[in-house]
């Protein structure tokens, strides 16, 4: 029996996710691309990929009841990692071309267009600024990661006035404006960039996450 952590990659029609599957396997996980409820709930980790428009991704997720399984995992303290639009839909809503769509609402905030005076999509390598003590970015704090997006969360709205509430760890990047590049919040983590396309730095990040599944 393998002692490698098991990871389910959510299969809901989000384009080519096989590079993510291969990267997670290289990071030390036994990986399956699936939409089977039992496998999504029982795996050590769940990865929610996403490419395309916010509203279209939410429609596809809702069509497969994925929000229910994602929510059950988070409520049970079971790790979930969102990537790209899979990161964006964890916020309250997204606004693209004037059309607003509700997100999963795990974090407060709105996904909006990057500033008009910069080249979009923001495509290519960029540095990030992770917080002290980050698990995802341990050992890769000064590396660059690969982004492909025109929308982002540019304002972090978490209410930190209540001392009993532990604020999530937020990593920032900049392209015309500061935007949220990653969030770590107990069992729930997400990256705006594509770790599976970010070379050795991305592999290290995925190894950090896979390693945390057995902690």
Residues with catalytic annotation?
84, 194, 196
Report the distance separating Cα 215 and Cα 210, nearest Å. Answer: 10
- Strands (DSSP E) found in the chain: 6-10, 30-34, 45-48, 80-83, 91-96, 99-102, 107-113, 122-127, 144-149, 151-153, 169-174, 178-185, 188-191
Alpha helices in 53-104 (DSSP H): 54-63, 66-75, 85-88
3-state secondary structure of 131: coil
Which helix H or strand E contains 21, and what residues bound it? helix 18-26
Report the distance separating Cα 183 and Cα 188, nearest Å. Answer: 8
Strand partners of residue 81? 47, 189
Residue 136: which residues within 8 A CB-CB, separation 6 or more? 130, 171, 182, 184, 189, 191, 205, 208, 209
What is the maximum span of the chain, computed from C-alpha positions, in angstroms? 54
């Amino acid at each position: 029996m393998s002692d490698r952590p098991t990871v389910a990659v959510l299969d809901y029609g989000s384009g080519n996710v096989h590079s993510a599957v291969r990267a997670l396997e290289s990071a030390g996980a036994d990986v399956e691309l699936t939409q089977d409820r039992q496998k999504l709930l029982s795996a050590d980790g769940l990865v929610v990929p996403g490419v395309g428009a916010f509203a279209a991704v939410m429609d596809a997720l809702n069509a497969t009841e994925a929000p229910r399984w994602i929510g059950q995992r988070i409520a049970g303290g079971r790790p979930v990692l969102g990537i790209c639009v899979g990161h964006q839909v964890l916020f309250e809503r997204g606004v693209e071309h004037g059309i607003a769509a509700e997100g999963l609402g795990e974090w407060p905030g709105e996904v909006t267009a990057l500033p008009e005076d910069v080249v979009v999509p923001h495509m290519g390598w960029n540095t990030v600024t992770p917080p002290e003590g980050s698990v995802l970015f341990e050992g890769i704090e000064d590396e660059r990661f690969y982004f492909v997006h025109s929308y982002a969360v540019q304002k972090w709205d978490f209410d930190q006035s209540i001392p009993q509430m532990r604020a999530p760890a937020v990593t920032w990047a900049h392209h015309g404006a500061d935007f949220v590049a990653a969030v770590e919040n107990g069992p729930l983590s997400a990256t705006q960039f594509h770790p599976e396309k970010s070379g050795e730095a991305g592999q290290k990040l995925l190894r950090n996450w896979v390693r945390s599944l057995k902690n």
